[in-house]
Amino acid sequence: MRRFTTMLLTLCCAHAACLSQTQAVDPNAIAPKMQWFADAKLGIFIHWGIYAVQGIGESWSFHNREISYPDYMKQLNGFTAEHYNPEAWAELIGQSGARYAVITSKHHDGVALWNTGMTDLSIPKKSAAKRDVLTPFVNAVRGQKLKVGLYFSLLDWSHTDYPGFLKDSSRYDAKKDTVRWKRFQHFFQGQIDEIITRFNPNLYWFDGDWEHSAAEWQADKVRNMILDRNPAAVINGRLQGFGDYDTPEQNFPVTRPKLRWWELCMTTNDSWGYQGKDTHWKTPYEIITIFADAISMGGNLLLDIGPKADGTIPNEQVHILTELGSWTKKHSEAIFGTVAGLPPGHFYGPSTLSKDSTALYLFLPSQSAGTVVVKGLNNQIQSITVVGSNQPVTHTIVGKISWSHVPGLVYINVPPAAQDTYMTVLKITLDKPLSIYRGRGGFE
């Protein structure tokens, strides 16, 4: 059994109902296993389930009584996966520049995508597809040399031994009927055990922890079950304080999330799963600028797609991933293997730093040509080039006072021809590791 140092760090997840938590994981102890995650920057999230049949909200639609539970479950008959091509999915994901993929092995509706032995409620046993659709995807993702993440909902609104069901009705009180709750613990932990044994994912992406406490989920036991089998496995932060990194959802953080590692999960339109009526697509430009902002603050982006029930990926999402892919390919040195960039106040836009901090990458926040400014740079500049083309760019140092230690302002001239379709990136090669002036001007 592993032991965790308990730190008194109060956390709160994206959900209003989320209880405040105590973070049980020491960041220094997990730093080595987190390295691939820190370097990965981009992941693709996939919400695929029976909700795609009618194009309604994943699980929440019956929970919130927008559709009756029996009608929701009838979607099993329409889930055919007839055009499902896991290799093509994995290829598209790889081409986007993502280094990992996370797929919903089971959402809050309890429908497992794999052939679980713990219940009959699964795609192979109950849907028109009649087969395990998870295993081929996991294999295809590994075939692309990407890391595999499995989303798993701890809460299961379909299971008769789970207390929660509809928003205004529950089956029982877990605190009062501990025998029944123990049966549910046995069930969900049995499914996690299957996931560990059959898929050995690189990343466990839990969800739905907010309905019960760490003690009720036996979160420490769940963490140990995973790490005892694979000490390198990464666990997201939705395990009531027993996860490794923060998972802000949809809402972009303005200041860095509390945990050392973090990942923004975000939809490409406004829905996690496929919803044909939702045409509120984010543009590739918006997604690229959001991504740049996330890596500038030391985070990752987990960008969601929602395939249809027949296994095809909506064209708009293919387009977004393809455009994202050409941009990440062109700017790969500014993205992968870098760390968070300048703190706020030095440059009006996102930035990243090479790991040895001798190269500073500036992500230009608008497509207009002209000058951009960097403040407080103590280093000497060796060169400035456009990432992707190596085109040299000129600059002048403005306002450097000979008797002052305060650095001058770096005005960089960005020629119109240097513009990328989406976001232009400049590389400033420094004479030595980055050194910045954080003072108030004058003699301070």
278 is an interface residue for ligand GLC by CB under 6 A: no
In the complex, what is the shortest distance from the CB of residue 249 to ligand GLC, in angstroms, rounded to a whole number? 5
- Binding residue (CB under 6 A) for ligand GLC from 265, 303, 377, 430: 265
Candidates 209, 164, 193; CA nearest to 13 is: 209
Distance (Å, whole) CA 305 – CA 315: 11
Taking the least distance from each CB to ligand GLC, the nearer of 132 and 263 is 263
Residue numbers 197-216 binding ligand GLC by CB under 6 A: 207
Residue numbers 222-261 binding ligand GLC by CB under 6 A: 249
Distance (Å, whole) CA 170 – CA 180: 13
* φ and ψ of 337, to 5 deg: 75, 10
In the complex, what is the shortest distance from the CB of residue 310 to ligand GLC, in angstroms, rounded to a whole number? 21
In the complex, what is the shortest distance from the CB of residue 21 to ligand GLC, in angstroms, rounded to a whole number? 15
Taking the least distance from each CB to ligand GLC, the nearer of 271 and 379 is 271
Other CB atoms closer than 10 Å to residue 321's CB: what's the count? Answer: 23
Q: In 144-230, which residue ranges form alpha helices assigned H by DSSP?
A: 178-199, 214-217, 219-229
β-bridge pairing 169-170 and 425-430: unpaired
Structure tokens at 335: 């993205």
272 is an interface residue for ligand GLC by CB under 6 A: yes
Structure tokens at 103: 């797929």
Looking at residue 246, what DSSP letter applies?
Answer: B
Structure tokens at 193: 């055990």
State the binding string over 39-68 for ligand GLC (x if CB under 6 A, else -).
Answer: --------x----------x-x--------
Candidates 222, 224, 227, 248; CA nearest to 237 is: 248
State the binding string over 152-191 for ligand GLC (x if CB under 6 A, else -).
Answer: ----------------------------------------
Greatest Cα pair distance, the chain, in angstroms, is 78
In the complex, what is the shortest distance from the CB of residue 15 to ligand GLC, in angstroms, rounded to a whole number? 7
What number of chain residues touch ligand GLC (CB under 6 A)?
7
Taking the least distance from each CB to ligand GLC, the nearer of 148 and 362 is 148
In the complex, what is the shortest distance from the CB of residue 264 to ligand GLC, in angstroms, rounded to a whole number? 10
Residues that bind ligand GLC (CB under 6 A): 47, 58, 60, 207, 249, 265, 272
